[in-house]
């Protein structure tokens, strides 16, 4: 009888071979040149290098590189070089092999890709999670060298998200938050629509499993009715297209669960009122690219003959493609059930580029002399930001975020040059886009031959001339009406150059004063001085000192001596990066000693409860969570656990930038503590409705009201109500009961 160990090894071998064969079969079906021999060698090399190593899920480690290679090949459309790099992407980091070894066995190009992937690894699942922003910076730097590096990284992230269930809860929150904050927008910008959608849904599934299951169940429940409506809508269109002799494929594209949730949250709608659950997509076959536009408009004409067109919701992405290369014609028409339905019209080529993004362009590239694509222009913008990095890694991420998810407008220079900018861009954004010097000396703009101020918001199709003056100097408040990351970065660089002499002078004054008074120049001391003078960072402090806006005096010595004796919190990078929006008070601390915060184990689930010293957590004012909400903990500078709702915007930033401080949390079963919740009520106004509302809340339900703002206009009213409750169930019950009052149409909690 065979020993159990040998049976397990045989099972593993069969599983590995089946996965590899699946990868190979997909590659052989593609249009790429068939280079099976080098893929086979890369597979055997990686398999041997990772021999005996297992993932957290228990499967052999080699299954991960195979899965990444399969995504890169079959879902992104990359060829043999990328498949080999994906198979080898963890070899240099996790084994004794070097980049030189890879180059010797597989050549310079594959070695270069593996080296690029190795540079940006670390921090994804490791202890270096807090410096993820720096890894992201490296990731973007590699884009200008070879876009395939970032595409393989996308495949790696997607497989990690698909297998996230085996991770500890706090790691799941960190990785899901980081994916939603960084990788999904980046996939969107690279045109990887299918991957972007899956990354968003998987992140949402791990952050809000209950809401995810609830929406998923409702989608399945409404499927029969949806199919019926789609059938009624699509049948006349199909008949018309068949009569025109167009070869096409028509299908309903369902809105993703994350998109549905987003719409419900931002518009405060219940699921039943999200009417645009699906869009119709028509993909037609056309061998001649020059005829695509004409066919798109003939299909458009056929649909508008049948249904009423929404006048403001037609989008022509054919003439001016999106910056990620996306091309399609979108229109919105009134369906047979009285709801608006979007129709997307694409050729087979456009569809492939929309789904596979940048990687699909190789298939359709016409000649080598093409003009530079808008994506390459965007990569240049990223390079520009990287050359002038923000002082803080988190500021850097926020700056990048401006460019990642922006929808575009197209404007023209007086010479007829076409410039793509994010929606909401101003004259000043355009000035900085053209050149730093133009931006720094910009005084106004001529928009469509009319003189307009710097802050004028531009619209698609505007012709804009930027006017400059040598005497103009940049002002800090300019950043308030700029939306482009490139512009803000160049403005900050210009302001720093202007301020630098004053900062140097102020820094010398500060160092000399500290030395004369025998006070250590430490983070704690500088933070204390910043708090007293209400400035955000050392540069601002030194600038104000150099400009003689503030002075250092004996009144500082006592509080600074006390700051020197305070035990230092945090370690390494985390101690140096201040929390976003954290206020430093100049009021002296009360004399009564506070109990020291217990050290928190981030690997365990932290139970939120009230102790003899009060709650063992603090509630974040940015989202005001209450028991019953999906929440996470963040260990702040004082060692306290700060509670945020999982979908709070600041929580997204914390998950992406301070991964090692995130804790998985759960509420205690019962609490006597009360929390404030904000509810918005809307309805048809009538005599006595306010009395019924207050009576229901205070008398029948016994809930304590703290504030009520009510406003009526014509026949409708809206009310904002703040109540004290013990958990989210009470709020949900209150909303449900409020909706039973005659005239109330909506009652929703506002986070």
Residues catalogued as catalytic: 93-94
Order of strands across the sheet with 675-684? 704-713, 716-725, 675-684, 744-750
Rounded CA-CA distance 343/230 in Å is 12
What does the alpha-carbon distance between residue 471 and residue 329 come to, in Å, rounded to a whole number?
Answer: 47
Neighbours of 274 (CB within 10 A): 17
Residue pair 88/42 in contact (Cβ under 8 Å)? The answer is: yes
Cβ burial 156-173 (10 Å sphere, 16+ → b, else e): bbbbbbeebeebebbbbb
Dihedral sign, CA of 690, 695, 698, 701? negative
User: Closest Cα to residue 626, out of 634, 617, 639?
Assistant: 617
Q: Which two tokens stand for residue 204?
A: 């949402």
Q: For residues 568, 572, 573 and 579, what is the CA-based torsion angle, rounded to 10 degrees?
A: -20
Which residues fall within 8 angstroms of residue 570, CB to CB, at 6 or more apart?
637
Run of H or E residues at 414 = none
CB contact at 8 A, 542 and 515: no
Query: 654-669 burial string, b = 16+ CB within 10 Å, else e?
Result: bbbbbbbbbbbbebee
Greatest Cα pair distance in the chain: 91
Phi-psi region of 346 (alpha: psi -120 to 50; beta: other; left: phi over 0): beta
Cα–Cα dist 39/106, whole Å: 10
Buried b (16+ CB within 10 A) or exposed e, 194-232: ebbbbbbbbbbbbbbeebbeebeebbeeeeeeeeebbee
CA distance 352 to 346: 9
């Amino acid at each position: 009888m065979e020993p159990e160990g040998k049976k397990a090894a045989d099972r593993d071998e069969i599983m590995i071979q089946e996965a590899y064969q699946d990868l190979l079969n997909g590659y052989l079906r593609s249009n790429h040149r068939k280079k099976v021999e080098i893929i086979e060698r890369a597979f055997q090399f990686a398999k041997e290098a990772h021999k005996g190593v297992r993932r957290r899920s228990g499967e052999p480690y080699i299954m991960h590189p195979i899965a990444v290679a399969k995504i890169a090949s079959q879902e992104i459309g990359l060829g043999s070089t990328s498949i080999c790099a994906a198979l080898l992407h963890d070899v240099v980091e996790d084994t004794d092999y070097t980049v030189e070894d890879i180059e010797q066995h597989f050549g310079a190009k594959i070695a270069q890709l593996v080296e690029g992937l190795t540079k940006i690894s670390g921090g994804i699942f490791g202890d270096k999670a807090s410096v993820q922003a720096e890894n992201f910076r490296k990731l973007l730097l590699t884009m200008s060298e070879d876009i395939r590096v970032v595409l393989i990284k996308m495949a790696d992230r997607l497989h990690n998200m698909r297998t996230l269930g085996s991770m500890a809860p706090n790691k799941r929150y960190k990785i899901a938050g980081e994916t939603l904050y960084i990788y999904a927008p980046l996939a969107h910008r690279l045109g990887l629509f299918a991957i972007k959608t899956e990354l968003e849904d998987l992140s949402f599934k791990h952050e809000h499993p209950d809401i995810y299951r609830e929406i998923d169940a409702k989608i399945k429940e409404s499927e029969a009715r949806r199919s019926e409506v789609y059938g009624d809508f699509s049948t006349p269109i199909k008949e018309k297209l068949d009569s025109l002799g167009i070869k096409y494929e028509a299908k309903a594209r369902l809105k993703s669960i994350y998109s549905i949730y987003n719409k419900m949250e931002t518009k405060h709608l219940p699921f039943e009122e999200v009417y645009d659950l699906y869009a119709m997509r028509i993909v037609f076959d056309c061998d001649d690219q020059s005829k695509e536009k004409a066919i798109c408009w003939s299909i458009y004409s056929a649909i508008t003959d049948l249904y009423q067109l929404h006048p403001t919701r037609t989008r022509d992405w054919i003439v001016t493609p999106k910056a990620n290369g996306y091309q399609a014609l979108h229109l919105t028409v009134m369906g047979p059930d009285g709801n608006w339905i979007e129709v997307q019209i694409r050729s087979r080529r456009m569809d492939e580029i929309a789904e596979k993004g940048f990687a699909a362009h190789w298939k359709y590239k016409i000649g080598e002399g093409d003009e530079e694509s808008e994506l390459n222009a965007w990569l240049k913008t990223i390079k520009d930001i990287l050359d002038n990095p923000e002082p803080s890694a988190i500021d850097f991420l926020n700056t990048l975020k401006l460019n990642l998810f922006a929808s575009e407008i197209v404007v023209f220079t007086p010479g007829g040059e076409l410039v793509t900018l994010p929606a909401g861009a101003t004259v000043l954004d355009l000035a900085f886009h053209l050149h730093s010097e133009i931006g720094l000396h910009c005084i106004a703009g001529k928009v469509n031959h009319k003189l307009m101020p710097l802050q004028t918001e531009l619209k698609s199709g505007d012709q804009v001339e930027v006017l400059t003056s040598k005497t103009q100097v940049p002002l800090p408040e300019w950043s308030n009406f700029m939306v482009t990351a490139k512009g803000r970065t160049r403005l900050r660089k210009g302001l720093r150059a202007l301020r630098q002499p004053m900062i140097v002078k102020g820094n010398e004054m500060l160092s000399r004063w500290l030395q004369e008074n025998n006070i250590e120049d430490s983070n704690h001391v500088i933070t204390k001085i910043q708090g007293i003078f209400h400035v955000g960072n050392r540069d601002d402090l030194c600038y104000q000192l150099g400009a003689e806006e503030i002075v250092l005096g004996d009144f500082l010595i006592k509080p600074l001596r006390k700051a020197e004796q305070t035990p230092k919190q945090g370690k390494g990078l985390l101690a140096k990066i201040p929390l976003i929006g954290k206020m430093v008070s100049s009021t002296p601390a009360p004399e009564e000693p506070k109990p020291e915060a217990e050290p928190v184990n981030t690997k365990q689930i932290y139970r939120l409860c009230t102790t003899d010293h009060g709650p063992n957590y603090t509630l974040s004012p940015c989202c005001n969570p209450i028991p019953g909400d999906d929440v996470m903990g963040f260990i702040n500078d004082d060692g306290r656990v700060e509670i945020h709702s999982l979908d709070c915007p600041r929580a997204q930033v914390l998950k992406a930038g301070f991964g090692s401080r995130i804790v998985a949390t759960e509420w205690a079963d019962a609490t006597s503590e009360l929390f404030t919740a904000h509810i918005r009520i809307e309805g048809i106004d009538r005599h006595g409705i306010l009395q019924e509302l207050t009576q229901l809340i205070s008398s029948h339900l016994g809930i304590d009201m703290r504030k009520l703002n009510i406003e009526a206009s014509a026949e409708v009213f809206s009310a904002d109500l703040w109540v004290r409750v013990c958990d989210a169930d009470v709020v949900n019950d209150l909303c449900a009961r409020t909706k039973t009052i005659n005239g109330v149409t909506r009652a929703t909690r506002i986070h």
